[in-house]
């Protein structure tokens, strides 16, 4: 009976591993080189959102995906617009779904940007028109990757069907199209489940404003990933999503520190208004070791610790002598060398797994063997108490 239970348990473990593995590979096909830069409404930090100018800027700057929010006109046409009304981003007003496409086409969706961002204003933005989804696809065809949001389907019945019809008519969901050419995102789970039932291979992303409301096992039944709001994301959530076979694309990540944090935490991509910055951060060399922490920790040894690319070998030099080396794992390394004097210079350099030197840094030795100034308290009529830090196993004497 015991053997039988062990066999069952091993089979279940194997089955679970296969499910997780195949899901992960599926996600990797989409994210290909891991970190994807998704141009949020185009390069919308520098040009009016959801205009051909904004999309073109994003493409030229190297975005992996162009993000398009969908609105639906009164006469059922899909257009690229974020808000439910045209008030903020055009010279008109009214709800998108109460205006016909020809009424929408009369509006100027560039001038508001010049007024709101005078330091980025450009006369070419004046008079720009809201594009339809068909116009965008007819212009770019399969030369870009599309990341399309089914937005407010409750106000726009039939939006998902209309989207599938447009994609089909442009041959963007056929077997010979690389998986990931089009990703569909939505905060509406029902729309995603419906699309999944029609096209099980079409990659879907479940958007959400709060990570703690995302039921990852449930989402993994119909989507390849999640799109959480940046401020609710932490490393644990990303790891949890990955262990459920889901990739993670965070929105909206607009500064360098957050971009680096997302890369460090293992996110698979970001939505950003600043494509150029994100591409630079993505391509920056992060394999070189950082300035190490170097402590002389005993009379025998000095310890050197830092971060470097996993599987790279980090060498420690003093003067022209290589005194120690270690292979980094989990992006950390630790090398012990013979005791060095306080203030001595130690250099580290790393060689990646392919044998290429990836960078070097130098740091100063800090001596931690000497006891630090102690805390001295009279704690009773009988005794005075002396407490402080010193090298492990060293004897500390008190003199008066």
CB 48 within 8 A of CB 129: no
Dihedral over Cα of 58, 60, 65, 70: its sign: positive
242 counts as catalytic? no
Q: Choosing among Ca ion, ligand G3P, none, which partner's interface includes residue 352 (Cβ < 5 to 8 Å by kind)?
A: none
Q: Quick one: 40 or 242, whose CB is closer to ligand G3P?
A: 40
| CB 27, min distance to ligand G3P, A | 17
Q: Choosing among Ca ion, ligand G3P, none, which partner's interface includes residue 71 (Cβ < 5 to 8 Å by kind)?
A: none
82 counts as catalytic? yes
Written as six digits, the tokens of 131 are 């594009």
Start-to-end C-alpha separation, the chain:
72
| CB 74, min distance to ligand G3P, A | 22
Element (H, E) at 296: strand 293-296
Is residue 309 at the binding interface for Ca ion, with CB under 5 A as the rule? no
* Integer Cα distance of 121 and 46 in angstroms: 9
Angle (CA) 193-268-330 rounded to 5° is: 135
Q: Quick one: 182 or 348, whose CB is closer to ligand G3P?
A: 182
| CB 233, min distance to ligand G3P, A | 13
Is residue 149 at the binding interface for Ca ion, with CB under 5 A as the rule? yes
* Integer Cα distance of 370 and 284 in angstroms: 40
What's the alpha-carbon Rg for the chain, to the nearest Å? Answer: 28
Q: Choosing among Ca ion, ligand G3P, none, which partner's interface includes residue 251 (Cβ < 5 to 8 Å by kind)?
A: ligand G3P
CB 388 within 8 A of CB 375: yes
Is residue 49 at the binding interface for Ca ion, with CB under 5 A as the rule? no
Q: Choosing among ligand G3P, Ca ion, none, which partner's interface includes residue 43 (Cβ < 5 to 8 Å by kind)?
A: none
**Cα 314 from chain centre:** 27
CB 364 within 8 A of CB 294: yes
Q: Choosing among Ca ion, ligand G3P, none, which partner's interface includes residue 271 (Cβ < 5 to 8 Å by kind)?
A: ligand G3P
Q: Quick one: 49 or 69, whose CB is closer to Ca ion?
A: 69
Q: Choosing among ligand G3P, Ca ion, none, which partner's interface includes residue 227 (Cβ < 5 to 8 Å by kind)?
A: ligand G3P
Among the options 50, 82, 242, 249, which is catalytic?
82
The total of other beta-carbon atoms located within 10 Å of residue 235's CB is 13
| CB 67, min distance to Ca ion, A | 6
Among 69, 162, 188, 352, binds Ca ion (CB under 5 A): 69
Residue with structure tokens 């990933």?
225
Q: Which stretch binds Ca ion (CB under 5 A): 123-131, 147-155, 258-266, 392-400?
A: 147-155
Among the options 40, 50, 242, 249, which is catalytic?
40
| CB 88, min distance to ligand G3P, A | 12
**Residue numbers at the binding site for ligand G3P (CB under 6 A):** 40, 69, 82, 149, 185, 207, 227, 251, 271
| CB 271, min distance to ligand G3P, A | 5
Residues 6+ apart with CB under 8 A from 90: 107, 108, 109, 112, 130
- 3-state secondary structure at position 129: coil
- Which residues are part of the catalytic machinery? 40, 82
């Amino acid at each position: 009976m015991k053997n039988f239970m062990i066999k069952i348990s091993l089979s279940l473990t194997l089955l679970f591993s296969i499910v997780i593995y195949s899901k992960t590979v599926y996600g990797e096909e989409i994210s290909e080189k891991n970190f994807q830069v998704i141009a949020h409404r185009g390069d919308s930090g520098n040009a009016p959102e959801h205009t051909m100018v904004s999309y073109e800027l994003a493409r030229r700057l190297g975005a992996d995906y162009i993000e398009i929010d969908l609105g639906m006109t009164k006469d059922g046409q899909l257009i690229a617009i974020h808000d439910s009304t045209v008030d903020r981003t055009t010279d008109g007003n009214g709800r998108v779904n109460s205006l016909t496409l020809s009424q929408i086409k009369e509006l100027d969706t560039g001038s508001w940007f010049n007024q709101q961002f005078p330091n980025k204003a450009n006369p070419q933005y004046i008079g720009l028109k809201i594009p339809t989804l068909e116009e965008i696809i007819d212009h770019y065809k399969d030369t870009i990757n599309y990341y399309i949001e089914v937005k407010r389907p409750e106000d726009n019945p039939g939006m998902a069907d209309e989207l599938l019809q447009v994609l089909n008519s442009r041959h963007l969901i056929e077997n010979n199209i690389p998986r990931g050419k089009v990703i569909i995102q939505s905060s509406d789970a029902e729309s995603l489940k419906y699309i999944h039932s029609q096209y099980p291979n079409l990659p879907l992303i479940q958007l959400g404003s709060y990570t703690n409301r995302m039921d990852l096992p449930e989402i993994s039944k119909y989507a390849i990933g999640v799109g959480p709001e940046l401020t609710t994301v932490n490393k644990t959530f990303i790891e949890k999503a990955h262990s459920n076979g889901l990739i993670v694309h965070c929105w909206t990540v607009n500064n360098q520190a957050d971009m680096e944090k997302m890369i460090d935490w293992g996110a698979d991509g970001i939505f950003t208004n600043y494509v150029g910055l994100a591409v630079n951060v993505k391509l920056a060399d992060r394999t070189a070791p950082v300035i190490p922490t170097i402590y002389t920790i005993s009379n025998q040894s000095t310890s050197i610790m830092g971060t470097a690319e996993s599987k790279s070998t980090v060498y420690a030099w003093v003067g022209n002598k290589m005194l120690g080396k270690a292979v980094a794992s989990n992006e950390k390394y630790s090398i012990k060398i013979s005791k060095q004097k306080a203030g001595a210079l130690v250099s580290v350099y790393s060689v990646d797994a392919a044998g290429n030197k990836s960078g070097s840094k130098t740091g100063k030795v800090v001596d931690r063997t000497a006891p630090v100034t102690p805390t001295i308290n009279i704690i009773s009529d009988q005794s005075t108490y002396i407490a402080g830090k010193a090298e492990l196993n060293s004897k500390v004497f008190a003199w008066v």
